[in-house]
Amino acid sequence: MTQTETREGKREEEATQRKFQWLMRIREAAEVTQPPLASQKVPSGSREAARNVGEEMNALQSAGMAELEGLEFGKSDFVLLDEVTMEQFMDNLKLRFEKGRIYTYIGEVVVSVNPYRQMDIYGKDAIDAYRGRELYENPPHLYAVSDAAYKAMKRRAKDTCIVISGESGAGKTEASKYIMQYIAAITNPSQRAEVESVKNVLLKSNCVLEAFGNAKTNRNDNSSRFGKYMDINFNFNGDPTGGHINNYLLEKSRVVQQQDGERNFHSFYQLLRGGSEEVLKSLHLENDPALYTYTREGAAAATSNNDRSNHKAVMSALEVIGFSKEEIRSIYQILAAILLLGNVEFGSDGESVQVLGQDTVDHISELTATDPQCVTKGLLYRTVATGGGEVIEKGHTEKDACFGRDAFAKALYERLFGWIVSRINGIIEVKNYNPVLHGKNTVIGVLDIYGFEIFDNNSFEQFCINYCNEKLQQLFIELILQQEQEEYQREGITWQHIDYFNNQIIVDLVEQQHKGILSILDEACLTVGNVTDTVCLDSMDTKLAQHPHYTSRKLSPTDKTMDFQKHFRIRHYAGDVTYSVEGFLDKNKDLLFQDFKRLMYNSADPVLKEMWPDGQLSITEVTKRPLTAATLFKNSIVALVDKLACKEPYYVRCIKPNEMKSPVLFDDARCQHQVAYLGLLENVMVRRAGFAYRQQYPRFLQRYKMTCEYTWPNHLMATDREAVEAIITQHGFQGDVAYGHTKLFVRTPRTLFTLEQERATLIPILVLFLQKVWRGALARLRCRRMRAIYAIMGCYKRYKVKAHFWEVERRFAGVRTMPDYGKSVEWPAPPAALAQFHNITTILHRRWWARQIVKNIPPSDMSEVRAKVAALSSLSGERKDWGIGRAWERDYLSNARDCPQTSSAFIRVSKELKNKDGYGQVVFSGFCRKVNRFNKSTDRALLVTDKYVYKLEPKKQYKVLKRLPLDSFTALSVTSGADQMVVLHTVSQDDVLLCLQQGELCPNQDRVGELVGTLVDHFTRIRKGLLPVKVCRSALQLHMRGKPKNVTVETKPGQTAADFKKSRDGFILLVPDK
């Protein structure tokens, strides 16, 4: 080296030293109180350095990482936890949720917590902030992982996918929407019409699939009841050119049955509540879901969905996507047919089964464009081919007919949903694609799949869903480890093997050939004979007895959480799940009679015909058994896993913070369970097992060069790697890092935190001072505005309160002299501050009004009033006419006007009974038609006293035939019609069935309400107990000598008086045809 070069090197080193010393003075200044900006003297030689610091600060802010959120928001990447424990993980997750930070990284995995509220982090400004930026340049967000997947696809021409997982209500569907919206927003900057059309179809398809594939559950008002994987195709410019949607395991059993508090699929309620009167009339429907068996359970369920507006949105989306008016009409005709199918009922005369109500069948045939006789035949008969080629028709039992009806309804909806998906695919598929002309076609896949489900009662659907999660969990861990290993090998870093739980053993338990549960289920379904779920469970117990992840009550007799011949348990990766084997075989067979398939294939509706291509085969041509539901699902999941394995994956793991849908509640136990079964802690461990943090040399140097005297403001070394080595050496972190070819790898988070703290102390004091002045000015301005606002609000509130008092006083000034004591006076709307006061005053006025009314009632009429009040409460408005408008005589048998010929005889008998049995008063008496113990109906007299109920023979001087203590009666049952039938339920299950008869006082009197009211009032006031009253709209249920009976009411032309007739399952009350 020459002397000249030596001198130049010394001068450069001295200049660098002076710059660093100036920087150290800034650090010292940051630790003490500074004078105002105007009084600071900046040396002239330092002005250029100050400008460099300001420029450097802007550059560092633009290259900032997620940690810039601040420690008060917790760690934005779980990899940076001090210790990887469940406790620290949960503390950090909870802190970020409470601070409104719903997204957190684990490396490149995004953990999303459902906020249960609208958040202002998804608009155009947020999209612009994340567009084209690196993953860690902004706080964690769905947009960041979406942009990372898009950039990887565009830059490296590599297919990518975004896997969204989590349990129902964790926000998977919303996450997929935001990802789709982001991709749509950042593509097609030139606004080409054909690309915009593809984007609109992709976005609108979500609306349609939600309507037909989502439903309200007890966990989620908009729960996806199917798995969805969407491929979005991009051209070489990165613009979407098409797509393809795959759906998995639609929960079609929901069509015919839902749990308490849940609804059927949204599409049914949207049609019934959002369809116009004209449309519903043409579909033979009414706008009340409670009228239809399949939607009755969810008709009253509270939901945040607006079915009316959603129906309009779906109709608009179908048109935008490209469905024709005829196709849309066919879709809703099929929905209407399904609803009407649920109302089809069957009756049996002992030999054959009949369809009750031919009108419903006619409407179904009209909606499906089929022959009514063929529909009836399909519901009642099954065509079977014998071994000799002979075709016979086998009639259904009533149970088989109901099963076939429900299976047909489920299959109709499943085929409809599959057709809608395939129709959308046909519209958005890439057309006229030529790789030579158009370049490479790349794909981004978005997987919105159900998470593990562990319910109180887990059935076949949960078994399939949890198997799917086992497969995806296996793929997740393998890809994470594989990516880590590939990066270490690429960078020349030695990889140490990581022990992790391999759930292949659980996957094999389910899907292994000849030994797995799916094979055992399929074998049972193929076995000829009466193979039940219990037999299948015994087979699993025999073949899987030695498997460490399988058990049952038979294998673990002491485990009383399972039942014999019903339950088996699998030790899943997410935890132990106990399954009920009931219904497994039926659901796996997914049996649908071939007659229905041929019926639909022969429909005149081309849309319906297209859905049932397998119906073109005749009964003698159908020889091959269809694949079982479990096998079909397994094949689709295996294909999905293979498809994901060939793409570069990005993950969104969704967490449900609580079951109350609260934006502030964080259920630690609930969230910890989800963290465990999603494998998030294990993901952190895998990520940290080698190195917790890695960064390219130029980016690391740009962020931390101000912490080293040899790199600030610019280093003089040959490469950025040497400059990074100087930073690490100065801080003494040589043993905690490794140097790759292009990246620095940091082993522990504490090293990174130390560098961050060093960097934080070097923020120029000038920036802090400017921030202080500006924030103070904003605060003072805000304070003045708030004071003015509060002053105005205070005056206005006082005015509103006084105005309300004045208005109430004006309206109610003369209520004492009004005929209705102010009942018709309308209360003014109160201000919010007086809401509670308003409620209290209205209650007080009602009480005062009632007291004025009751005060005018004569004491002699009070007993009748109390009885009528009791009847009004008990009948709950379900019985239209119950005698409220007439006087109640109660003791009709002793009333000479009602019973002029027999009243004297009854009075004599009643006095004898009173002297003999010592009862105090007659509660009710009258003639009735009663069913005796020989199932014959006879005329009798009914006497109800405060101690006993007597059955009297009016033709034999009111001879006592039976005496029952009043205490033995437990309830009353009446119908909602005008008939006079009453059932008195007893403790001994030997109920009294009778029909009250009118006397001569008024031939059309309704005395059921009088009997109900007097008995209920007597039980309530005298016996201090309750007498339940059940009002039935159809049949009455009772027991006679312990045997259950049903009683229905029918009108019969020519019938002069009500009378009982014996039926197959009880009795029929025949009433005159009015």
Residues with a known catalytic role: 168-169, 173, 220, 223-224, 451, 453
HEC assignment per residue over 878-940: CCCCCCCCCCCCCECCCCCCCCCCCHHHHHHHHHHHHHHHCCCCEEEEEEEEEECCCCCEEEE
From 141, 11, 153, select the one nearest 69 (Cα to Cα). Answer: 141
Unique residue bearing structure tokens 């990766």: 573
Parallel, antiparallel or unpaired: strands 391-395 and 223-224: unpaired
Question: What's the N-to-C CA distance of the chain in angstroms?
Answer: 124
Estimate the crossing angle of helix 193-213 against helix 266-274, to 10 degrees.
100
HEC assignment per residue over 847-892: HHHHHHHHHCCCHHHHHHHHHHHHHHHHHCCCCCCCCCCCCCCCEC
Determine the Cα–Cα distance for residues 451 and 448; give it in Å rounded to an integer.
Answer: 10
Parallel, antiparallel or unpaired: strands 1066-1072 and 1043-1052: parallel
Q: Which residues contact 34 (CB under 8 A, 6 or more apart)?
A: 40, 765, 769
Cα Rg of the chain, angstroms: 39
For residue 650, what is the DSSP state?
E
From 671, 644, 516, select the one nearest 104 (Cα to Cα). Answer: 671
From 864, 403, 844, select the one nearest 593 (Cα to Cα). Answer: 403
Determine the Cα–Cα distance for residues 118 and 113; give it in Å rounded to an integer.
Answer: 13
Unique residue bearing structure tokens 């039935």: 1032
Structure tokens at 952: 């009297």
Q: How many CB atoms lie within 10 A of CB 916?
A: 9
Structure tokens at 398: 């009533």
HEC assignment per residue over 360-408: HHHHHHHHHCCCHHHHHHHHHEEEEECCCCCEEEEECCHHHHHHHHHHH
Beta bridge partners of 575: 572
Residue 974's φ and ψ, nearest 5 degrees, are: -135, 170
Q: Which residues contact 916 (CB under 8 A, 6 or more apart)?
A: none
Q: What is the DSSP string of 790-819?
A: HHHHHHHHHHHHHHHHHHHHHHTTTGGGST
Distances (CA, A) of 676 to 55, 86, 572, 941: 45, 9, 11, 71
Parallel, antiparallel or unpaired: strands 1029-1032 and 969-975: parallel
Determine the Cα–Cα distance for residues 765 and 783; give it in Å rounded to an integer.
Answer: 26
Give me the sign of the Cα torsion angle 521, 525, 526, 528: positive
Determine the Cα–Cα distance for residues 965 and 945; give it in Å rounded to an integer.
Answer: 9
> Residue 459 in 3-state DSSP?
coil
Structure tokens at 830: 């109160």
Determine the Cα–Cα distance for residues 29 and 41; give it in Å rounded to an integer.
Answer: 13
Determine the Cα–Cα distance for residues 548 and 546; give it in Å rounded to an integer.
Answer: 6
Residue 167, judged by CB atoms within 10 A of its CB (0-12, 13-18, 19+), counts as buried
**Is the previous residue joined to 965 through a cis bond, with omega within 30 degrees of 0?**
no
Determine the Cα–Cα distance for residues 841 and 811; give it in Å rounded to an integer.
Answer: 14
Q: Cite the beta strand spans of 391-534 per DSSP E.
A: 391-395, 442-448
